[in-house]
Amino acid sequence: MTLRVDWLEGCGTALVTPFGADGKVDEARMRTLVDRQIREGVRLLVPCGTTGEAMTLSSDEQARVFRLTVEAARAGGARVIAGVGSNSTAVTIERARAARAAGVDAVLVVAPYYNKPTQPGLIAHFTAVAAAVPGLPVVLYNVPGRTASNIAAGTVVKLAKQVENIVGVKEASGDLGQVMAIIRSRPADFRVLSGDDASTLPLIALGAEGIISVVSNEVPGMMAQLTSAALGGDWRSARERHYRLLPLMEANFLESNPGPVKAAMALMGLLEERYRLPLVPVEEATRARLREILKDLGVLEQPAHVAA
């Protein structure tokens, strides 16, 4: 029987990780960004995922980001789903335990990248991680474009039925047939979340419960409203919001995530555009396109620099 997590729905944000001039995590800016998310209606916060450049963070840095996010979330009534995935089961377990110690509400576990495990290997990996943190909700993350392996629908459903604390999946395969197969066969309390902003509306129409979003870093209120409208069956409003945000959703992937989203947030005055190698600042053509879209959305009223 799947552990029940009724709160796992709506718009969640895959948070960026801001860096200071010294290259370290900018903790003050991180708190400010999390507070902004909560203030604009986001109630699911996802630190240390792909968008958070998690693979460039040390274990100590990840643990610190978990704690910062939890502290801010608790003050604002939000939940935290910590990204803990790696391509090593032992390392993933270590990170999941650190996340639990930091007080997170759930962990997000991406399929091991580069190794290209078989479906039995994926089952063994996720089962081992879930067993290492009993009682802590585990959300699978399927993003074949990043990992070079796909968590098949049958594998997701098998894990959902056999492992109590595997409670949901963030699906970014881009395969609607696969997502429908999961939704059709999943246990009653198992949650499906879109892992692609542009797929949020169609997946909710098919029965998904929400999104772990990139675009909500830039426009959290707008994305939360789109998701809420779709979940409430207000399809006209949801469609209008979807098409309004679609250019930004698409522009966020003109280059590797989180390059464009950090560039956009810098234009909005929300952070300094800093990355950790191997990521580098976006091309000027991408920046110009982002500026145009943000202007059309009416979110460039702030000065294009971070206030002191």
Q: Can you give the CATH number for the domain in which 44 is found?
A: 3.20.20.70
Whether residue 15 lies inside any domain: the answer is yes
In the chain, how many H helices and how many E strands? Answer: 12, 8
**Closest-CA residue to 24 (of 295, 274, 289):** 274
The Cα 302–Cα 251 span in angstroms is 20
Whether residue 259 lies inside any domain: the answer is no
Residue among 141, 158, 262, 275 flagged as catalytic:
141
The Cα 13–Cα 221 span in angstroms is 11
Which pLDDT value is given to residue 1? 76
Whether residue 150 lies inside any domain: the answer is yes
**CA distances to 95, 96, 149, 174, 183 from 180, in Å:** 31, 29, 19, 11, 5
Residue found under tokens 């772990």: 212
Which pLDDT value is given to residue 2? 83
The Cα 43–Cα 41 span in angstroms is 6
* Torsion angle defined by CA atoms of residues 283, 284, 289 and 292, in that order, rounded to the nearest 10 degrees: 150
Whether residue 172 lies inside any domain: the answer is yes
Task: Please give the structure tokens belonging to residue 159.
Answer: 């894990």
Residue among 158, 170, 262, 275 flagged as catalytic:
170
Whether residue 281 lies inside any domain: the answer is no
Whether residue 101 lies inside any domain: the answer is yes
Number of domains in the chain: 1
Whether residue 275 lies inside any domain: the answer is no
**Taking the model in full, what pTM does it have?**
0.95
Whether residue 70 lies inside any domain: the answer is yes
Q: pLDDT 10s digit of each residue in the chain, 308 long?
A: 788 999 999 999 999 999 999 999 999 999 999 999 999 999 999 999 999 999 999 999 999 999 999 999 999 999 999 999 999 999 999 999 999 999 999 999 999 999 999 999 999 999 999 999 999 999 999 999 999 999 999 999 999 999 999 999 999 999 999 999 999 999 999 999 999 999 999 999 999 999 999 999 999 999 999 999 999 999 999 999 999 999 999 999 999 999 999 999 999 999 999 999 999 999 999 999 999 999 999 998 654 444 43
Is residue 141 annotated as part of the catalytic site, yes or no? yes
Domain containing residue 100: 10-232
